[in-house]
C-alpha cells in the first residue's frame, strides 16, 4: 500500500479549501462515486481506499459534516449547493456559517462534564473556549472562512443569533489557570495576520494538531477526576499546578 505523507494530506486539504465553495462541494460529492462507498464503508482519496473517519480527517471535517455530504449524495445531489460560481443565496451563507462555527467549536472548545447544561436542544454538556478568545475573535474566524470561499460574510448580529440559538451550551472561560496557552495565542495571532489561503490552511492544520494534543490531556484529567469520585477506594487523584496529575 502506498504511504501517504503529512504533506500529501496538507496539499489535498489546501487544494480543497482554495476551490470556490460550489466547486469544493462538488469535489467532495465526486468522492462518493467509488465502489468502496457503494458498499457503505470505504472512501477513495490520495490514490488509496480509506475508512470514513480517515476521509473526514484528511479534509478537516467533523463527523456530522461528512454525513451531511453523504446524505446529500444519497438524495441525488452531484453539484454545489447553488449550481454555479455566482452569488450565494442567503440560506447557503447561513448554513455555511453555522457549519463553520460548529467545526470551530468541536476543534477548540473544552468540554466541562462536571457542569450540566439543562437546555434540551443540547447534549447536556457545557463547553468553554479558552480565555484567549473573545466573541469578536470567533466571529472573525468565521468571517475569514467565508471570505476565503468567495462568500459574503454574515453580519455580527446574525453570527450572535446563530451562537445563541444553535450553540447555547458554548461559551468562553471567564478565568482559567490553563486557558492562557502561549501556543494557542501564537496560532491565533498568525491566523489574524495571514490572508493567503494556502498559508492559513497550514496554520489551521498546525493549530488543529496542537488542540488535539491539549484535548487528549484534558480527557485524561476528567477521566482521572471521574474515577477518583466514583471509585474512591480504588483511585486517588492528586492535582497540582492546575491540571497536571
CA 5, chain centre distance (Å): 22
Q: What integer pLDDT is reported at residue 222 of this predicted model?
A: 66
Which uninterrupted H or E stretch holds 49?
Answer: strand 48-51
User: Under DSSP, is residue 78 helix (H, G, I), strand (E, B) or coil?
Assistant: coil
- SS3 sequence of 131-147: CCCCHHHHHHHHHHHHH
Q: Which of 137, 111, 130, 135 is nearest to 174 (CA)?
A: 130
Q: What integer pLDDT is reported at residue 156 of this predicted model?
A: 93
Supply the DSSP symbol for 5.
P
Unique residue bearing C-alpha cell 502506498: 2
Question: In this structure, what are the phi and psi dihedrals at residue 125, rounded to the nearest 5 degrees?
Answer: -110, 140
Q: What integer pLDDT is reported at residue 178 of this predicted model?
A: 47
Q: What integer pLDDT is reported at residue 46 of this predicted model?
A: 79
Q: What is the DSSP string of 31-68?
A: TT-SHHHHTTSEEEETTEEEEHHHHHHHTT--HHHHHH
Q: How far apart are CA 79 and CA 203, in angstroms?
A: 29
CA 231, chain centre distance (Å): 34
Binned average pLDDT, 10 residues per bin, the chain of 245 residues:
70 74 75 67 79 82 73 65 47 80 81 70 76 85 79 89 90 65 77 72 78 69 71 71 46
**Residues in Cβ contact with 230 at an 8 Å cutoff, skipping those fewer than 6 apart:** none
Unique residue bearing C-alpha cell 473517519: 53
Q: What integer pLDDT is reported at residue 4 of this predicted model?
A: 67
Amino acid at each position: 500500500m502506498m504511504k501517504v505523507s503529512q504533506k500529501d494530506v496538507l496539499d489535498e486539504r489546501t487544494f480543497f479549501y482554495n476551490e470556490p465553495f460550489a466547486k469544493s462541494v462538488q469535489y467532495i460529492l465526486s468522492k462518493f462515486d467509488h465502489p468502496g462507498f457503494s458498499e457503505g464503508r470505504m472512501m477513495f482519496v490520495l490514490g488509496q481506499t480509506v475508512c470514513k473517519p480517515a476521509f473526514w480527517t484528511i479534509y478537516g471535517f467533523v463527523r456530522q459534516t461528512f454525513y451531511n455530504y453523504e446524505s446529500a449524495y444519497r438524495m441525488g445531489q452531484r453539484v454545489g449547493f447553488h449550481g454555479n460560481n455566482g452569488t450565494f443565496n442567503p440560506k447557503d451563507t447561513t448554513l455555511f456559517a453555522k457549519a463553520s462555527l460548529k467545526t470551530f467549536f468541536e476543534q477548540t472548545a473544552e468540554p466541562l462534564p462536571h457542569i450540566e447544561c439543562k437546555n434540551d436542544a443540547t447534549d447536556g454538556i457545557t463547553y468553554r473556549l479558552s480565555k484567549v478568545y473573545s466573541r469578536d475573535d470567533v466571529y472573525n474566524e468565521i468571517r475569514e472562512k467565508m471570505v476565503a470561499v468567495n462568500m459574503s460574510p454574515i453580519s455580527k448580529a446574525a453570527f450572535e443569533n446563530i451562537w445563541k440559538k444553535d450553540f447555547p451550551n458554548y461559551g468562553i472561560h471567564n478565568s482559567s489557570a490553563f486557558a492562557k496557552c502561549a501556543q494557542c495565542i501564537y496560532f491565533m495571532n498568525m491566523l489574524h495576520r495571514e490572508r493567503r489561503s494556502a498559508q492559513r490552511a497550514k496554520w489551521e492544520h498546525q493549530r488543529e494538531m496542537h488542540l488535539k494534543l491539549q484535548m487528549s490531556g484534558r480527557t485524561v484529567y476528567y477521566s482521572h477526576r471521574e474515577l477518583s469520585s466514583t471509585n474512591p477506594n480504588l483511585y486517588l487523584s492528586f492535582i497540582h499546578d492546575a491540571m497536571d496529575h
